[in-house]
């Protein structure tokens, strides 16, 4: 086997077209060479090493998957445990791909990420708008976030106004006195991002780009028509449930609540007086929110805490559904309130697509449709070459969405490198550079 070589990647230039990151034709802003993605969740850490083929589709060269430790609710709570989980997943992917990663594209779940729309006015003074003016507008949006202790991750333009004329997609070269911009900023709390930076730095990794987790899931699970007509992706993870609203190919809003599949497991452990590990197994084998008459009669064995393994209680299978249903209903009710408070209107993102491991609970789709009052389907990520079938499930939508981002999908229409520049110049990378200089 050849010696493992170190890989460092950079973005190309140019705006990507709308549509799926797995469609034909290499995108102008797709990654060149091999690159890595890292999905850090509350239940698992997944690393993929991939390259973009000439037809624009990613091919996975190596993958690693390890149980997450030291991460709770998307946030790093134990640096050493988180480092071990990250190192184990990355090492497996590197060994399979025969590559050494120095940088990765990482998902953002920590820091209570939020969406904010900023209206920025910039004086042009009767000359032509330049790219420097657009960068200055984005810098102003970042400055406002920094004053609130937030770190911007995405700065996506929703439209520009030239003097009193709205609806301008690209104002460069146009003459005006005042340039107005509507910026959709996705940000996170700076301390949480610093802790993530510490864990990754300890694992000898640099973050080249951060991508909001529900946005990544949307890139993997939505079809082109859903992106254009409007859809809401609900990513039901172990520690958090997050949502991304898209319309006309734009990310309009993200939201997150600190409730996920782990809370369902914990409810089962308490309600059935069994261990967390046994509760997780029961959830996987028998979990759901719909109970039938047969479930009332059928019983399942449940090991009891403090008893010998041979001592088993037998409970009606329907009891599992009775415990799970209130938690799942609460999750969708909290999410409904979050989406309603965004003021987007019921017609925006009217179709709901469920992703994430917890979305696979029997009856989750029906419960979501009833509480959210919208059409709901279960979203499976688009197939990717080089991955086993197990990865093409809703539980890996965020992971494969990071690959789509690497293929150039979902990036801003204007080639201003918003996301990558925000990460490189922000407090997150300043911390990593500070550590590099002193450790």
Range 179-201 average pLDDT:
88
- How does DSSP classify residue 389? G
- How does DSSP classify residue 428? H
Domain 5-111+190-221+381-386+396-438 has CATH 1.10.3720.10: no
Length of the chain in terms of residues written: 439
Task: Give pLDDT tens digits for 281-322.
Answer: 999 999 899 888 888 889 999 999 888 777 789 999 999 999
- How does DSSP classify residue 385? B
Burial of 293 (0-12, 13-18, 19+ CB in 10 A): exposed
Dist CA 188 CA 111 (whole Å): 5
- In DSSP terms, 44 is beta-bridged to 67
pLDDT at 15 over 50: no
Percent of the chain with pLDDT over 70: 87
pLDDT at 10 over 50: no
pLDDT at 24 over 60: no
Copy the structure tokens of residue 45: 């850490």
pLDDT at 249 over 90: no
Please check whether the two domains, 5-111+190-221+381-386+396-438 and 264-325, share a CATH topology: yes
What CATH number is given for 232-260+327-378 in this structure? Answer: 3.30.420.40
Dist CA 118 CA 78 (whole Å): 35
pTM recorded for the entire structure: 0.86
pLDDT of residue 29: 72
Site of tokens 């969708």: 332
Domain extents in the chain? 5-111+190-221+381-386+396-438, 114-188, 232-260+327-378, 264-325
What CATH number is given for 114-188 in this structure? Answer: 3.30.1490.110
What CATH number is given for 264-325 in this structure? Answer: 3.30.420.40
pLDDT at 25 over 80: no
């Amino acid at each position: 086997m050849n010696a493992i070589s170190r890989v460092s990647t950079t973005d190309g230039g140019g705006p990507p077209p709308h549509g799926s990151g797995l469609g034909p034709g290499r995108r102008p802003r797709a990654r060149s060479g091999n690159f890595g993605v890292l999905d850090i969740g509350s239940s698992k850490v997944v690393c993929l090493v991939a390259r973009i083929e000439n037809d624009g589709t990613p091919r996975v060269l190596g993958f690693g998957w390890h149980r997450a430790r030291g991460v709770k609710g998307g946030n790093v709570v134990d640096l050493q445990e988180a480092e071990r989980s990250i190192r184990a997943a990355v090492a497996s992917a590197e060994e399979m791909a025969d590559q050494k990663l120095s940088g990765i594209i990482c998902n953002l779940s920590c820091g209570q990420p939020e969406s904010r729309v900023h209206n920025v006015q910039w004086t042009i003074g009767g000359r032509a708008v330049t790219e420097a003016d657009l960068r200055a507008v984005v810098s102003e949006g970042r400055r406002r976030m920094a004053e609130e202790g937030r770190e911007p991750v995405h700065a996506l333009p929703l439209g520009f106004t030239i003097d009193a004329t709205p609806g301008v997609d690209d104002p460069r070269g146009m003459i005006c006195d005042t340039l107005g911009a509507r910026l959709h900023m996705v940000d996170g709390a700076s301390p949480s991002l610093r802790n993530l930076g510490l864990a990754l730095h300890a694992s000898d990794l640099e973050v080249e780009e951060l991508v909001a987790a529900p946005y990544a899931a949307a890139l993997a699970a939505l079809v082109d028509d859903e992106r254009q007509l409007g859809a809401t992706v609900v990513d039901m993870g172990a520690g958090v449930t997050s949502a991304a609203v898209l319309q006309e190919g734009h990310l309009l809003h993200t939201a997150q609540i600190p409730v996920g599949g782990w809370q369902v497991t914990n409810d089962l452990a308490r309600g059935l007086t069994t261990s967390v590990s046994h509760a997780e197994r029961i959830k996987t084998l028998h979990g759901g929110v719909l109970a039938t008459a047969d479930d009332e009669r059928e019983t399942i064995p449940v090991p009891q805490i403090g008893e010998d393994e041979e001592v088993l209680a037998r409970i009606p299978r329907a009891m599992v559904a009775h415990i799970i249903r209130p938690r799942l209903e609460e999750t969708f009710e909290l999410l409904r309130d979050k989406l309603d408070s965004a003021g987007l209107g019921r017609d925006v993102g009217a179709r709901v697509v469920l992703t994430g491991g917890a979305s696979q609970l029997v009856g989750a789709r029906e419960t979501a449709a009833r509480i959210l009052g919208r059409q709901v389907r279960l979203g499976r990520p688009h197939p990717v070459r080089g991955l086993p079938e197990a990865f093409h499930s809703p539980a890996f939508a965020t992971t494969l969405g990071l690959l789509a981002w690497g293929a150039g999908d979902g990036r801003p229409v204007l080639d201003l490198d918003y996301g990558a520049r925000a990460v490189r110049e922000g407090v997150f990378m300043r911390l990593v550079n500070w550590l590099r200089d002193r450790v």
